[in-house]
Structure 1
Amino acid sequence: MLNSQQITPPRSVGVLLFPAFSNHCLANAVEPLRGANMLSRRALYDWSFLSPDGAGVASSSGLTVQPEGRLSDHPGGDYLLVMPSYDFERQATPGLLRALRAAAGRFRTVVGLDTGSWLMAAAGLLDGRRATIHWDELENLAERFPDTEVTEDRFVLDGNRITCGGTTTTFELMLHLIGAHHGAMLRLEVAALFMHGEADPRADPLMRLPRDRLVQAAVSIMRRNIETPLPVGQIAERLNLSQRGLEAHFARATGMSPRAVYTALRLRQARLLAERTTLSVAEIATRCGYGDASAMTRAFRREFGHPPSAFRTT
């Protein structure tokens, strides 16, 4: 399986920046992709920075990014991330709107981040579509573009058009896409890399959690108990669920059982220790909840295609 994955070309992402773009939004869009590449040890995504005219673009806080080229010169790819922030109405010039319409024919999916939905709607790319935008602009977008169904969702996927409301929701969207492309475990790994997830759910045991947040809450408990794994029933009890209820929930949300997710988390911790420490395989096995190093090595090979020794940093 590893060989078949390695020959899959990376998904190509164009990041279209405008003057006064948000650094926070840019980082939340690109860093999860970088994290996915790093954790998988292969190029799942590549990206290039673009601007309408190819000139350098200064963010709202003064950070300047030198794009790799103009939008009109880019051959296209899988995703175009449209990323204005302030002054988005002034940026909706006839030339820019023509360039966006042309780009929509070269990129498989166009994504509006922060106030990017406005430019997409102005270009006619959201006619008859559901969309969202930064919450400060929801009413404005709905009034200006009646052919677009504006919702208050954090992000909206409507075919080959995706819209997102702001910086934090951009991170959530990218996690969602990583999960859709490469599975729930990589999505959870990327979330963990940036410490994104639930705090201790016992702080508010009566809280009713939406589906994905419940998975994150369970995974948070698992991560804190790697060396001495908890029974699934005990994790469910901490979340005020039955074991059967937690298992059914995981099956719906991730397509995996809680036990399988827990095992995968432990093995990823083992991989991290193999990469970053000089601990013996026996010590790594102990730290990851395995009483037998041989059993961990067999599980490790099944998960990653190679033994722990192959992941030692040279």
Structure 2
Amino acid sequence: MGILLFEQFSNYCLANTVEPLRAANDVARRKLYDWHFLTLDGEAVNASSGLSVAPDASLREGAGGEILFLLPSYGFRTLAKPASLAALRSAAQRYGTLAGLDTGSWLLAAAGLLDGRPATIHWEELEGFSESFPEVEARRERFVIDGDRITCSGAMATYDLMSELLGRHHGEALRLEVSWLLMQGSASAGDAPIAAARSPAVQRAMRTMQEHVEEPLPMKKVARRVGLTQRALEQRFRSELGAAPRTVYRRIRLLAARKLVDETRLPVSEIALRCGYENPSAMTRAFAAEFGLTPRDIRNAV
């Protein structure tokens, strides 16, 4: 991925772009994502906070990749110069997808790269964006993914966008764990991933799951304990966490298993029992499917 920074870029937006990628690599224990910092001329730029970033290369020197993220912020209109827009059009030939974050949508539209497409931008600029680019379908949304074009409405929405991309690229399980890791400071089962849920009912359900790792409860009983039908629980989980309760429960149990693999020398058979698996082979298969590594792989790597 290329991350194209402009003078006065938002450091908050940059962090919400890069940190989910870094966390995904950490969780997966392998490099799922690789990124390079770019500027139009290869010179350092300063964030609106004063942070200076020296790029790896200029946009022209960038080798290309799957996605190019554009991160302008203040003064974005002055950036829409013919040379800059030509550079973006050229980059569109080297990157599979172009993503305008915050006010990056304006530059994509000015370069003619959003013609005939739906797009969003920071809410303060939406009206001006719509008037300036009638050929673009302006939408008041947090982010819009339209094939090989992505637009996002601001720094906070950038985190939601990156979470969505993680889920699309590598599944809901990884997306959930990255969310828990960044929100809680740890992905271990000992740190409850409750903050990922909004409603008290879903929070209570997740707490119930954590309290019954060794002897998992049927989903119907989990729902009854929080005062919901199983169907209502399913709907709440999918709405708030983007995954079924059963998926979240399995993930909680496997996170508990990985914590024991990491921090103890217990045999896999004992870990399996402690995490609700009567069959060690079944746990090992589920563990490898979730993390891409078996318990033995993790211990041998230490």
TM-score by length of 1: 0.80
Matched, 1:34 2:32: no
Distance 1:88 1:219 in 2: 45
Helix, strand or coil: the match of 1:90? helix
Contact 2:100-2:150 at 8 Å conserved across structures: yes
Q: 1:54, 1:67 within 8 Å by CA — same for their partners in 2?
A: yes
**What do the CA deviations read for 1:50-92 (whole angstroms, capped 9, x no partner)?**
0000001111111111101110111211000000111101111
Contact 2:205 2:226 in 1 (8 A): no
Describe the SS at the equivalent of 2:60: helix
- 302-311 vs 42-51, which deviates more? 302-311
Task: Give the secondary-structure state (helix, strand or coil) at the position aligned to 1:80.
Answer: strand
For 2:245, the equivalent position in structure 1 comes to 258
Give distance in 2, aligned partners of 1:255 and 1:147: 33
**How far apart are 1:273 and its partner, in Å?**
3.6
Contact 2:173 2:247 in 1 (8 A): no
1:96 alignment partner, one of 81, 84, 89: 84
Does structure 1 residue 201 correspond to structure 2 residue 203? no
Aligned match of 1:303 in 271, 287, 291?
287
Provide the alpha-carbon RMSD of the alignment. 2.9
Quick one: structure 1 residues 231 and 201, their matched pair in 2 at CA, closer, same or farther if it must change by over 3 Å? farther
Determine if contact 1:138/1:150 at 8 Å carries over to the other structure: yes
Residues 77-116 of structure 1 correspond to what in structure 2 (within 5 A)? 77-116=65-104
Aligned-partner SS, 1:29 = helix
Which deviates further from its counterpart, 261-270 or 79-88? Answer: 261-270
CA distance in 2, matches of 1:99, 1:151: 26
Mapping of residues 1-314 of structure 1, within 5 Å: 13-195=1-183, 197-199=195-197, 201-202=199-200, 220-221=206-207, 224-225=210-211, 227=213, 229-237=216-224, 241-247=228-234, 257-275=244-262, 277-278=263-264, 280-281=266-267, 284-285=271-272, 289-290=275-276, 295-296=279-280, 298-304=282-288, 307-312=294-299, 314=302
Contact 1:300 1:306 in 2 (8 A): no
Give the partner amino acid of 2:298: F
Contact 2:234 2:245 in 1 (8 A): yes
Residues 219 and 262 in structure 1, CA contact (< 8 A), matched pair in contact too: no
Q: Tell me if structure 1 keeps the 8 A contact 2:179–2:196.
A: no
Partner AA of 1:33 in structure 2: L
Pairwise CA distance, 1:235:
3.7
Deviating more after overlay: 104-113 vs 239-248: 239-248
- Of stretches 299-308 and 53-62 in structure 1, the one that deviates more from structure 2 is 299-308
Partners of 2:90 and 2:82 in 1: how far apart? Answer: 12
CA–CA distance in structure 2, aligned partners of residues 222 and 108 of structure 1:
43
Q: Relative to structure 1, is the Cα distance of residues 223 and 93 closer, same or farther in structure 2, using a 3 angstrom cutoff?
A: farther
Kindly provide the amino acid, as one letter, of the partner of residue 220 in structure 2.
G
Q: Is the 8 A contact 1:114 1:167 kept in 2?
A: yes
Is the 8 Å Cα contact of residues 198 and 220 (structure 1) preserved in structure 2? no
Cα distance, 1:114 vs structure 2: 0.8
Deviations 1:266-289 (A, max 9, x none): 1123213422x2352477557x54
- Aligned residue pairs total 286
Identity within the alignment, %: 48
1:258, distance to aligned residue in structure 2 (A): 2.7
SS at the partner of 1:173?
helix
Q: How far, CA to CA, are the matches of 1:148 and 1:104 in structure 2? A: 18
Query: Cα distance 1:233–1:82, how it changes in 2: closer, same or farther (>3 A)?
Result: same
2 CA distance for matches of 1:99 and 1:226?
56
Structure 1: distance between partners of 2:172 and 2:204: 14
Q: CA deviation at 1:188?
A: 0.7
Post-superposition Cα deviations, 1:151-201, rounded to whole Å, max 9, x if no partner, equal 111100111110001111111111111111111111111111112744562
